[in-house]
Amino acid sequence: LAMIYPAIDYAIEESYVTSAALNIPNSWRVSALATGIVLMSLLALRHAWRTSTLRDLVLAAALILAIGAAFWWLTPTLKGLGYGNILIFLVVVVALCLVAGVPIAFCFGMGTLCFLVFSTNVPMLVMVGRMDEGMSSIILLSVPIFVLLGCILDATGMGKAIVDFLASMLGHVRAGMSYVLLGSLFLVSGISGSKVSDMATVAPALFPEMKRRGYKPKELIALLSTGAAMADTVPPSIVLIVLGSVAGVSIAGLFNAGFAIAMVLLLALAILARWKARHEDLAGVRRLSFSVIGKTALIAGPALVLPFIIRAAVGGGVATATEVSTIAVLYALIIGMVLYGGISPKKFYAMFVETAALSGAILMILGTALAMAWALTQTGFARDLATFMTGLPGGWLTFMVVTIVVFLVLGCVLEGLPAIVLMAPLMFPIAKSLGINDVHYSMVVVTAMNIGLMTPPIGIGFYIACKIGNVSPDEAMGAIWPYLIALLAGLLVIAFVPGLSTWVL
């Protein structure tokens, strides 16, 4: 509610800025912020009215007013605390909101709003402008389109066709189904760009057969969650697109390096899977005929070429990520309708609703996280952090170790993507000053964040995998540690051998 008036004021000010070609006022675009804030406020009030008693609403409002009044009364004192305000508002307030179950975007927004109002003289108009800048990069136009591509993958069954093809090829060898699961995540991720979509596509197709072969449910969850973490650098990863936008790194370079880095992590997990399957009972498992393999290859072929088209087009500089995402959606729609059974009107509607909801959440996180990062920068914290980091003994090697630890922890706490959006503006300038290649550093950051995301007992990705696989987290927790160690070993190799990330550039 506190942001409604500043958002309207910002839209009015932007009316004086017009587009170069058509002379359209910029207020037409930025008014979406004010409209969205009003609609979200109405929905939040409606939800609160329906799910809470009048007594609870009154108590909550009174508590908020009391806390706000206390901060307002302490404003003169707070303005003299310096970095203490960062601890109070950008750490404690954000952490309390997270514990209370507030969505991460609103946690960042609340912390930044309180920081600016109670400890600075910066007008709220500036925060709205920072949010707008964070959400309006042209590169981010590809995010909702790739989200839609992932929805098409689920709706048409293209992902299942890829899984069936790999199972027909490798299902008869020792650890073959583990290879199929990891390979399926690798290939399917090359279409959807979303970890949740990847896991939801692969798990139902493979888990029944793997259980029949003696795989324990906890091992399946360990493979599924760490495999999804491995595959998150495969183009067209939404995380890579967002990171490229936030840190100013080449999307083509990220896509090329991401494919190679995912191969390194895939190899680490495959070696561990083969060792764990050394006593696998293959009695009754037979190799399928070439005719059956050929049939599954024919069915999966149109879907299999899609991830390679995306990588080749963007990595080779033929087209931008936005252009490729549009072509990929059109291709997937046509192929899905002609070869994979089509999409019903009901599924179409559900796809667009999911795309709008997920894309809106991603952009909201981007806007509030970048506003928070800007607030940190204005305090001088970023400058002092850079001075401290560059002065550490050991140079870039020590900085890499610190980076890995930071993003492992933040990946657990901040659900992955917000950690990157928040910290990238602070960490990338330091990495550049130490002579670390942007693409190499990006691979380390994304991999560490993904490992943290899947690390129990905090990492939310682990619990999503358990829900998809219908396995108790308590049961699966003990089995995941060897796979996380394998990923950590791969991460250390990636961090300290820059050539693995840069040879494809």
CA neighbor of 439 nearest in space, from 195, 282, 299, 253: 253
302/146 Cα distance (integer angstroms): 18
User: 213: which residues sit within 8 A by CB, 6+ positions away?
Assistant: 177, 280, 281, 285
Asked if residue 444 has pLDDT above 90, the reply is yes
pLDDT in tens, 334-351: 888 877 777 788 888 888
Asked if residue 417 has pLDDT above 80, the reply is no
pLDDT in tens, 279-293: 766 666 677 778 888
User: 108: which residues sit within 8 A by CB, 6+ positions away?
Assistant: 94, 365, 368, 369, 371, 372, 418, 422
Tokens of 21: 């070609």
pLDDT band at 437 (very low <50, low <70, confident <90, very high): very high
Which one-letter DSSP state was computed for residue 18?
Answer: B
Tokens of 364: 């909201």
351/155 Cα distance (integer angstroms): 8
84/146 Cα distance (integer angstroms): 41
- 143 torsion bin: left (phi>0), alpha (psi -120 to 50), beta (else): alpha
Q: Are 74 and 67 in contact (CB under 8 A)?
A: no
Return the amino acid letter for 418.
P
Asked if residue 368 has pLDDT above 80, the reply is yes
pLDDT band at 443 (very low <50, low <70, confident <90, very high): very high
Q: Are 264 and 234 in contact (CB under 8 A)?
A: no
pLDDT in tens, 262-276: 999 999 999 998 888
| End-to-end Cα distance, the chain | 47
Radius of gyration of the chain (CA): 24
215/280 Cα distance (integer angstroms): 9
Which one-letter DSSP state was computed for residue 232?
Answer: G
Predicted pLDDT at 33: 86
pLDDT in tens, 67-124: 889 888 988 888 877 778 888 888 888 888 888 888 888 888 898 998 888 888 888 8
Tokens of 16: 């004086």
Tokens of 188: 């399917």
Which one-letter DSSP state was computed for residue 394?
Answer: T
Q: Are 438 and 428 in contact (CB under 8 A)?
A: yes
* Three-class secondary structure of residue 182 per DSSP: helix
Which one-letter DSSP state was computed for residue 138?
Answer: G
Beta-bridge partner residues of 103: none
Q: Where are the domains of the chain?
A: 4-137, 140-356, 372-502
User: 487: which residues sit within 8 A by CB, 6+ positions away?
Assistant: 226, 229, 230, 265, 268, 269, 447, 451
Show the 3-state SS of 201-222: HHHHHHHHHHHHCCCCHHHHHH
Return the amino acid letter for 427.
M
Lowest model confidence (mean pLDDT) among 116-125, 206-215, 219-228: 206-215
Q: At what angle do helices 290-315 and 158-170 cross, to 10 degrees?
A: 120
CA neighbor of 87 nearest in space, from 331, 311, 381, 371: 381
Beta-bridge partner residues of 25: 18
Beta-bridge partner residues of 18: 25
User: 383: which residues sit within 8 A by CB, 6+ positions away?
Assistant: none
pLDDT in tens, 150-204: 788 777 777 778 888 888 887 777 778 888 888 888 887 777 666 777 787 788 8
User: Between 476 and 137, whose confidence is greater?
Assistant: 476
* Three-class secondary structure of residue 497 per DSSP: coil
- What is the helix (H) or strand (E) element at residue 40, kind and residue range? helix 27-51
Rounded to the nearest integer, the mean pLDDT of the chain is 84
pLDDT band at 489 (very low <50, low <70, confident <90, very high): very high
Q: Are 251 and 205 in contact (CB under 8 A)?
A: no
Predicted pLDDT at 285: 67
